[in-house]
Structure 1
Amino acid sequence: MVDDEQLRAAVNPSGPRGETAAGALRRTQLVPQRPMVYFLGAGPGDPGLMTYRGSELLERASLVVSDTRVHDDILEAYVRASVPRIDSAELGQAASTRGRKLAELAREHGVVVRLVPHDGVLFSTTTDEAAACRRHDVDFEIVPGVGQSSSMSAYTGTPVTTNRVRSVRFIEAGPQTHVDVSKHRNTGHVISGSVEEIVTALESLLADGWDGDTPVLMANEVSTVHQVTIEATMATAVGKLLAEASPGDHVMMLMGQGIEKRADLSWFESKPLFGWRVLIPRTREQGASTADLLTEYGAEGTIVPTIAIQPPRTPNQMEKAIKALVTGDYQWVGFTSVNAVRAVRMWLSDLGLDARSLAGVKVAAVGGPTAEVLQDWGVNPDLVPSGEWSARGLLADWPDFDDSLDPINRVLLPRADIATEVLVSGLLERGWEVDDVTAYRTVRAAPPPAPIRESIKRGDFDAVLFTSSSTVRNLVGIAGKPHPTTVVACIGPATAQTAESLGLTVDVVADEAHMGSLVSGLVEFARARRDEDLAEGRTPLRPSQRRRTARKKK
């Protein structure tokens, strides 16, 4: 019998915070006999740059010590929700004190992973903390991560070394920066520190006689969609840095001949949706894959659930349908949504059944995402629309009933409490007997937090992706209308018509009714707008920036 936890794990297979049975077994097998502290370099910021060794350690961890806000995305991506977490600031200010407390925590919990920024070694207190662990008779390992200098070079498209720059110096920013730099003028320099420390470093270099026209490149939040890169000279760098960075930001500054190549090598910030904030009004499970897809184009997706799934008010119909399904009374079962698959799966689980109950029954899926969820369950659909991924597309490919092939003409359509007249009437015309049964109810979700609602109305989101008419109505109902500058993208004509009826201007309609086509449409829209700005001699701006610019002009 499949219990609820197993079912959820199978429906949402081992994602960032999930854990497969194999993973749990491996974690159990690898727990050391003695207490252990792993000092793990977390990389520059993008969770995707975590090393394979690092991901394994985080999966095994009994406790994780991290820097609040700095490592939040890493925790979300790799650490199980049940694992306790501690902010490193709680362990004390001195490295020796933190090391001693890490040793105590290891004795209590077993495997402790201490996340440290970037590679975990350069300009870090890792070695001091590790030495304290050793003094208190606790073993440790230092596992380096992706370094900040190589990350900045790669993600800004700026070579640190060239055929003329054959060596690099790594410098901690401060009042003595000029001493480290001036003695090695023909060397590439990577200077890192807080905004205040970088300002001090620049002032020390200028005071030491450096030419104010010397080019420098500064960046923060490297490798994330929030990355900001500032090109300047020594004379203009302080003003630009103070204008574009926050006081608490960690900044890296490059000096060297490689800066001139940035125009040809910048790939990250030239992604079509770089820096865009995109609103995804879907359930958490459905929206996660969309957010991942947007990340590939440089955008940050924010999921705002607009519906909640609840059991049907009268479960008798569904109970009868499941029993008929098991006893072979249906020739077909048609799934018109991902949630329909999950609902049927839960119904079967409650009866102690699994995917084998669909043996001998033909299975239809309304589109690719629904088919993928079925395949994750171990069910390969017999029918997926060759054209439009919709009820109409499914009906277009559905065969007529032929009693010479199978005398059973019954079709089960488990669905939400939203009617599917097009599919039902079409199947009836083709000779099928249809059991159109409510497997679950969709209700309007609770309103999102106040800051999200204000961001929607204020125009902080650059775009919103609507995947159905109900998502349009529900988002407007629980959070209000998106700002006029927000790009509205709809998955099909019906959804677009609903958006327009509510007073929204639709900018993008997907060519095909699936999420990949919707995101592609948004990408093409962004590229076209950027090309238009460049052709008119304007600086390309995100929609949210256009709103702020327009306000300043007023």
Structure 2
Amino acid sequence: MEPTSPATPPEFEPSGGSVTFVGSGPGDLGLLTLSGSRAMRFADLIIVDPGADVEQVRALAPAHAEIKPSGSDDEVADILGAVARGRKVVRLHAGDYFTDADAGGVLPEVLAAAGIRANVVPGVTRWSAALSFGGVTATAAFAALDATREVPGIDAWPSAETLVVRTRGALSHEVATQAALRYGLTGTCLSMVGVGTTAQVSEVVSWADVDVADAGECYFIVGPGIEDSRRQRLAWFEGKPLFDWRIIAPRTKDDLGPLVEDLSHYGATTELVATMSIEPPRTEQAMEKAVRGLVDGRYLWVVFTSPHAVTAIADRLAEYGLDSRALSGISLAAVGRGTVEALARLGLVADLTPVVENTTGALATEFPAYDNLIDPLDRVLVPSADVAVEPLLVGLGRLGWDVEEVTAYRTVRAAPPPPEVRDDIKTGMYDAVVFTSATAVRNMIGIAGKPHAATVVAAIGPATAAACEMHGLRVDVVADAPTFESLAESLARFADRRRADQVAAGLPVTKPSQRKRRKRRKPVDPSV
């Protein structure tokens, strides 16, 4: 008996390629499941929704992955062709494919193709996201209505006790008109815009007072769970201490990614401003000699004091057609979490990192002494910036090591930020500024000017706070410990106290940037 053939023959020969449709969640790529994140890590091609944060996607993807927007007429053909060539394809969607009416027709077309290997990773549905971000507990009878394309007549609306209606601002009045037929003009709903973002706004209004015509995607929730007395106890999202705060963080050499993540945990949106630029050394001879020494086995240890030093050595090795394997057999020391992570991206693991304190001076106290009976070489290479690392060099010298320092890169003050950023800094449009070093204070004021007096100033430690005060800034927050985590937590506690003081005084709860601005006086014509 002949095997049954598919109704539609394969358009390509089966291969090692595959396609995974990955759902995430509205407003936040961080809502990816573990399965979705794993699919991203092994992808060769990632197709994303229009307007997606490509940099955020790139951070979750392998270095070689190609990232392109969806929406082309040939999207299905592109996916099938990539799979046929053995590539692993991920189609990323900000939501869930099977519960979003506007997820597109790509999924069924690809799944219908014979012979293709496909997988679907569920995402967080927009309906459950609206309930969760709104702090609303659904009843046992729960239903959803999608009115983003057209508003069905009231007879077609679900009759569940809890109902979530998704629509767009332009259709909101039509939704309110239909809802009033069932619930009455005085019936209430929870109106939500910007769901899952730090710009989220939710309020209980009557259907007669619905006014979100200028909004994009919006939600209306009906049910007993929308009562303010219940939601106030469950308002975990909009109740975050730094919710919707706009924070600026001047960046020097350090990676501030962990700080941005910590501040985001408390509801803030953080903008980084580069105050320092990394440039190659003025002359190349010293670096060329150092790299030749690495290849020829001249050094027993290499001490990396920053991620930029790791990058400088890796780039120079690449110029000679080499990679991180050229460092095999050499012991590596690293100062700072960012430096350790930079080595890890090259497939390298540091043999020594400071335990007590992550500084060059602390590394010198924990470095092993040279032993001429055990150690075959006594030379240590220290690639660093064009600034001295004296505590490290002196400490290693006392331990008997022959230390060779080489300038791997130079640090120079960055160019000023765009005019609109400088203007927002000076006029108090940022709610807070977080300084992670005294250098960041000096450099930011040098290229962008002083923050407005209404802006909350947070410093990572006493030395940074002293630099702020030296430049005439009022310091509101000093971190309990010199870590990003402590800095974010200290700022969040300050915001909590500030909010409590406003409530106790009977004042409306506002952000620092929402102060009353004085009107500019009109110029007086001297001829009048």
TM-score, with structure 1 as normaliser: 0.73
The CA deviation at 1:256 is 0.3
Instruction: Give the structure 1 partner of residue 191 of structure 2.
Output: 218
- State how far apart, in whole Å, the 2-side matches of 1:353 and 1:86 are: 32
Taking a change above 3 Å as real, the CA distance of residues 170 and 518 of structure 1, as seen in their structure-2 partners, is: same
**Is it true that 1:256 corresponds to 2:228 in the alignment?**
no
Q: What CA distance in whole angstroms lies between the structure 2 residues aligned with 1:396 and 1:366?
A: 13
Which residue does 2:170 correspond to in 1? 196
| 421-430 vs 518-527, which moves further | 421-430
Aligned to 1:534, what secondary structure does the other structure show?
helix
Among residues 245, 263, 269, which one is paired with 2:238 in the alignment?
Answer: 269
Matched, 1:170 2:152: no
Q: Is 1:379 the equivalent of 2:352?
A: no
CA contact (8 A) 2:380 2:402 kept: yes
For residues 334 and 136 of structure 2, what CA distance do their matches in structure 1 show?
48
Query: Match of 1:499, SS?
Result: helix
Match for 1:119: what amino acid? D
Deviations 1:74-110 (A, max 9, x none): 755657787363563x65xxxxxxxxx5455556666
Which range moves more in the overlay, 342-351 or 187-196? 342-351
The Cα offsets for residues 101-136 of structure 1, whole Å up to 9 and x where unpaired, read as 545555666688766553234462557666778999
Counterpart code for 2:324: D
| 1:157 is the counterpart of 2:135 | yes
Name the CA distance, whole Å, in 2 between partners of 1:403 and 1:78: 46
- In structure 2, C-alpha distance between the alignment counterparts of 1:107 and 1:358, rounded to whole Å: 41
Aligned pair in 2 of structure 1 residues 535, 338: CA closer, same or farther (>3 Å)? farther
State the 1:48 CA deviation: 1.8
Overall identity of the aligned pairs, in %: 35
Task: Sort the Cα spacing of 1:330 and 1:106 in 2 relative to 1 into closer, same or farther, 3 A.
Answer: closer
AA matched with 2:179: L
Counterpart pick for 1:119 among 96, 102, 116: 96
Give the gaps of 5 or more residues in structure 2: 1-13, 522-528
1:234 aligned onto 2:207: yes
- CA displacement 1:323-371 (0-9 Å, x = unmatched): 556667667654332323333344455453636647464x544334334
Range 347-356 or range 41-50, more displaced: 347-356
Alpha-carbon contact 1:325-1:358 (below 8 Å) kept? no
Q: Which moved more, 1:514-523 or 1:424-433?
A: 424-433
Q: Contact 1:160 / 1:168 at 8 angstroms: preserved in 2?
A: no
Deviations 1:135-170 (A, max 9, x none): 999989876532111111122221122xxx434353
Please tell me whether the aligned partners of residues 121 and 127 of structure 1 are also in contact (alpha carbons under 8 angstroms): no
Aligned residue among 17, 22, 38 for 1:31: 17
2:483 to 514, 535, 548: 514
Q: Which moved more, 1:305-314 or 1:150-159?
A: 305-314
Residues in 2 aligned to 1:128 and 1:360: alpha-carbon distance in whole angstroms: 54
3-state DSSP class of the match of 1:461? coil
The count of residues paired between Structure 1 and Structure 2 equals 496
Give the corresponding residue for 2:11: none
| RMSD (Å) for aligned C-alpha atoms | 4.3
Q: Comparing 402-411 with 255-264, which one deviates more in the overlay?
A: 402-411
Asked whether 1:471 is paired with 2:440, we answer yes
Q: Does the C-alpha gap of structure 1 residues 138 and 73 become closer, same or farther in structure 2, counting only changes over 3 Å?
A: farther
What is the distance in 2 between the residues matched to 1:127 and 1:347? Answer: 46
In 2, Cα distance between the equivalents of 1:158 and 1:75? Answer: 30
Q: Which residue in 2 is equivalent to 1:64?
A: 47
2: CA distance, partners of 1:391 / 1:491: 19
In structure 1, the residue corresponding to 2:166 is in which secondary structure? Answer: strand
Q: Relative to structure 1, is the Cα distance of residues 385 and 319 closer, same or farther in structure 2, using a 3 angstrom cutoff?
A: farther
Gap change, CA 1:433 and 1:263, over 3 Å in 2:
same
Aligned position for 1:7 = none
Higher helix share: 1
Report the CA distance between 1:251 and its aligned residue.
0.5
Equivalent position of 1:354 in the other structure: 324
Structure 2 counterpart of 1:6: none
Q: CA deviation at 1:386?
A: 0.8
Shift in Å at residue 484 of structure 1?
Answer: 2.6
AA matched with 1:296: H
> Does the aligned pair in 2 maintain the 1:216–1:231 contact within 8 Å?
yes
**TM-score w.r.t. length of structure 2:** 0.76
Distance between the aligned counterparts of 2:75 and 2:422, measured in 1? Answer: 41
